[in-house]
Amino acid sequence: MTRSIIKINTKDHKIAKLAAIAIALSIIEFFLPSPIPGVKPGIANIIILFTIIKFDFSTAVWVSIIRVFVVSIIIGTFLGPTFFLSLSGSLFSLMFLFLFKNINGKYFSVISLSLIAAFAHTTGQFLIVRFWIIPHDGIFYLLPIFMISALTFGLVNGIITRSLLSLNIK
């Protein structure tokens, strides 16, 4: 039998550590009560935003995708609607962060990137809800509530991320 050799480098360790933190935060968030069904603060997104700014975009993509898959397996939603909502929100956030991250820093701070990611996340989820789970335009009556939540939590998560970045963590 041929022995397979997998070379693990420091970037792999970094991704594993960041993904573990994001997974832990997601699981904690899963157990937090929510006054409005479906509204969560997205505290794991702090780690994703931190990763994009501190390291690079590809590392953040890995951390985000690993988090979505592992958390869905742990909480039992893998390949269910909740999994696809989480995946679509993550992919939309990453897509918009990719578009806005490299624009001049004087226009987009960490907080504004967090807000962009929060609104993109909500938009991605609403598209999945509208076109797959509840194919009716009435779902858009809920959009203001979710966008206000995205504004609130995006702002808070951006402030927390800015604080983490100022700690100069490696």
pLDDT of residue 170: 65
145 Cβ contact list (under 8 Å, min separation 6): 36, 39
Three-state DSSP class for residue 167: coil
- By the 10 Å C-beta count (0-12 exposed, 13-18 middle, 19+ buried), 54 is classed as middle
Return the C-alpha torsion angle 161, 97, 84, 130, nearest 10: 110
Supply the mean pLDDT for the chain. Answer: 89
List phi, psi (to 5°) of 106: -75, -15
- The predicted model scores a pTM of 0.86
Q: What is the pLDDT of residues 42-86, one digit of tens each?
A: 899 999 999 998 888 999 999 999 999 999 999 999 998 889 999
pLDDT of residue 34: 82
Residue 119 has pLDDT above 80, yes or no: yes
List phi, psi (to 5°) of 167: -75, -10
